[in-house]
Amino acid sequence: MQARDIMTKRVITVAPDTDIREAAQRLLDNRISAAPVIDKDGKLVGIVSEGDLMRRQEAGTGRHHSWWLDLLASPRERALRFVKEHSRRVGDIMSRKVIAVAEDTGLEAIAETLEKNGIKRVPVVKDGKVIGIVSRANLMRGLIARQAAPASADDRTIGTAIEAALGEVGNLDKQIHVVVSGGVVHLWGAVGSQAEKDAARVAAENAPGVTSVRDEIRVLPVSLSQLVWAD
């Protein structure tokens, strides 16, 4: 099994000149924690994550440094910090050192890449252009699918019932991925609140035939919302 088999093909991207509030709103709307940055030619030039967006002056989340650290910092370091906390362009705050994989990269290599670099997702690139993205959730689903027996008719019925229930709760079926193996339900994705996370778990627990639920759903940080709505 390779990157092409497990990657998310619908990739949410932004441009270097995208306003950071628009970028933050895009992350929130799509329940994702990062987005590749693409130039006008469609080439990957960076990645912007919730971490890049959280330390902002207008949201009151800028770093507060002691006077002696400011004194020791070089003019270049102070200038870079100012740009990171005050610029309104994605290109100024994005991470330019982007780790990427090819579409034929195997699952073990992807897992090692995520672990070695301490990252949660990796773009899949072909000829310099992003064709997909593999997150930890994608990777886990791939590993389960490879190791588990083929889903039975009962497992498929359980999965369909859970997805239908999630669709009734604010379209959570669009943000949460469901994998059922032997009656065990695995939930992955990202939501905007603990209430949504709890609702997804309850929907899975209530489906007939479920033996247990493994909840790996993330709740996005409040700071992104603060940035989007800051005056």
Q: pLDDT digit of tens for each residue in the chain (231 aa)?
A: 789 888 888 889 999 999 988 998 888 888 788 899 999 988 999 999 887 777 655 545 445 555 556 666 677 777 767 767 767 889 888 888 889 999 999 988 999 998 888 888 899 999 889 999 998 878 877 777 666 656 677 888 999 999 999 998 877 877 788 888 888 898 887 787 899 999 999 999 999 999 999 998 888 765 555 555 454
Q: What single DSSP character describes residue 172?
A: G
Domain match, 31 and 86 both: yes
What CATH number is associated with residue 193? 3.30.1340.30
Q: Is residue 68 part of a domain?
A: yes
CB-based burial of residue 81 (10 Å sphere; 0-12 exposed, 13-18 middle, 19+ buried)? middle
Expressed in angstroms, the distance from the first to the final Cα of the chain is: 47
Would residue 142 count as lying in a domain?
Answer: no
Is position 195 within any domain? yes
DSSP state letter for 229: H
Q: Is position 118 within any domain? A: yes
98: domain CATH number is 3.10.580.10
Are residues 104 and 188 located together in one domain of the fold?
A: no
Q: How many CB atoms lie within 10 A of CB 109?
A: 14
Judgement on whether residues 82 and 188 belong to the same structural domain of the protein: no
Do 158 and 128 lie in a common domain? no
With tokens 């940080």, the residue in question is 221
Same domain, 88 and 179: no
